[in-house]
């Protein structure tokens, strides 16, 4: 059977992607050089882990879905996933390679397990994936991906408990996927930040560090924090931290933390943590 070899949680932000493009062309500014340097350990781990497939749980930012129809959970099942134009034109990166076989397998198992997934055979992917992926993987991007979009825009959003259990059920589904493929599970959501309203620009680096420290061994403590409290402490979009619970739920209790990094270049806390399963 296929097996999960590890996973990681990582922030995303539009500026992260735009700063990557500027950094390659002109050199990184000091504040973004820190983030680039901090992701080198993740890139090296991915090269060692050599995954055959990836599952990425993220959130769309009204760049594919809109308020006329915004699903709570949506899975991409297609040969490729195009880059979304977020208003400043397409960046110089190709579409993501889709994993149709694993996508349908997950859809079958998860829907029959009680999840009402919206199946997308056309899905444009925004900075929820494209902002951090170039930091971690050189072109060409050949690893097939199953993107799973979680509603973090229109309330009510899925609970932390629901997303943690979702990760556990992803693991169960992978356990029945034929073959000996190595799979990495990713959870990506912004850390503390708020991009609208009277508290625009609020952030809480203490909350971000606390989250990274607790995620491996004290997940239940984090899951028990009401999302409203995360939003109060870290800004409205800090609720996206709940997406990381899907990644953690998909991994075993025996994982080893192999890399952790955090910095605050602008507006949004930028952090990453990598967990590896025992051989």
Using the Cα atoms of residue 184, residue 28, residue 201 and residue 269 in order, give the sign of their dihedral. Answer: positive
> Is 73 within 8 Å of 110 (Cβ atoms)?
no
Catalytic residue, from 12, 61, 105, 193: name it.
193
Using the Cα atoms of residue 234, residue 228, residue 152 and residue 98 in order, give the sign of their dihedral. Answer: positive
Of all residues in the chain, what percent carry a pLDDT higher than 90?
Answer: 92
- 1 pLDDT band, cuts 50/70/90, is confident
Rounded Cα distance, 224 and 192, in Å: 18
- 180 pLDDT band, cuts 50/70/90, is very high
Backbone angles phi, psi at 266, to 5 degrees: 180, 135
Residue corresponding to tokens 């059977």: 1
- 195 pLDDT band, cuts 50/70/90, is confident
12 is annotated as an active-site residue: no
Q: Walk me through the domains of the chain, giving residue ranges and CATH numbers.
A: 3-276 (3.40.830.10)
Model pLDDT, residue 244? 98
Catalytic residue, from 127, 155, 164, 209: name it.
127
Model pLDDT, residue 271? 98
Q: What does the CA dihedral 46, 51, 53, 59 come to, rounded to 10 degrees?
A: -20
Q: What does the CA dihedral 211, 161, 248, 147 come to, rounded to 10 degrees?
A: -110
Strand partners for 56:
147, 186
Instruction: Render pLDDT for 62-112 as a digit per residue (tens, 0 to 9).
Output: 999 999 999 999 999 999 999 999 999 999 999 999 999 999 999 999 999
SS (H, E, C) the chain: CCEEEEEEEECCCHHHHHHHHHHHHHCCCHHHHHHHHHCHHHHHHHHHHCCCEEEEEECCCCCCCECCECCCEEEECCCEECECCCCCCCCCCCCEEECHHHHHHHHHHHHHCCCCCEEECCCCECHHHHCCHHHHCCCCCCCCEEEEEECCCCCCCCCHHHHHHHHHHHHHHHHCCCCCCEEEEEEECCCCCCCCCCCCCCCCHHHHHHHHHHCCCCHHHHHCCCHHHHHHHHCHHHHHHHHHHHHHHHCCCCCEEEEEEEEEEECEEEEEEEEECCC
Does the pLDDT value for residue 198 go beyond 80? Answer: no
61 is annotated as an active-site residue: no
Rounded Cα distance, 155 and 152, in Å: 7
CA distances (Å), origin 179, targets 54, 106, 145, 147: 15, 15, 17, 21
Instruction: Render pLDDT for 18-75 as a digit per residue (tens, 0 to 9).
Output: 999 999 889 999 999 999 999 999 999 999 999 999 999 999 999 999 999 999 999 9
- 193 pLDDT band, cuts 50/70/90, is confident
Model pLDDT, residue 266? 86
pTM: 0.97
Model pLDDT, residue 145? 98
Strands 145-150 and 53-58: parallel
């Amino acid at each position: 059977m296929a097996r999960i070899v590890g996973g990681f949680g990582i922030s995303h932000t539009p500026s992260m992607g735009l700063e990557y493009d500027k950094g390659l062309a002109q050199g990184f500014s000091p504040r973004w050089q820190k983030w680039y340097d901090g992701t080198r350990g993740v890139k090296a781990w991915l090269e060692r882990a050599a995954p055959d497939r990836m599952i990425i749980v993220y959130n769309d930012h009204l760049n594919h879905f809109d308020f006329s129809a915004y699903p709570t959970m949506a899975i991409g099942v297609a040969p490729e996933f195009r880059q979304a134009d977020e208003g400043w034109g397409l960046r110089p990166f190709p579409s993501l390679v889709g994993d149709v076989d694993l996508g349908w397998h997950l859809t079958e198992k998860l829907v029959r397990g009680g999840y009402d997934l919206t199946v997308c055979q056309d899905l444009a992917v925004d900075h929820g994936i494209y902002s951090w992926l170039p930091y971690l993987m050189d072109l060409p991007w050949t690893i097939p991906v199953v993107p799973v979009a979680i509603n973090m825009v229109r309330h009510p959003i899925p609970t932390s408990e629901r997303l943690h259990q979702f990760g556990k059920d992803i693991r169960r589904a992978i356990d029945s996927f034929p073959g000996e493929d190595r799979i990495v599970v990713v959870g990506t959501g912004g850390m503390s930040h708020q991009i609208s309203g009277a508290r625009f620009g609020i952030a809480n680096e203490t909350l971000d560090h606390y989250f990274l420290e607790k995620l491996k061994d004290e997940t239940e403590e984090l899951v028990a924090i009401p999302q409203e409290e995360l939003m109060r402490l870290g800004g409205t979009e800090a609720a996206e931290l709940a997406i990381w619970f899907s990644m953690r739920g998909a991994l075993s209790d025996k994982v080893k933390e192999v890399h952790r990094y955090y910095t605050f270049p602008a507006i949004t806390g930028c952090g990453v943590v990598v967990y590896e399963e025992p051989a």
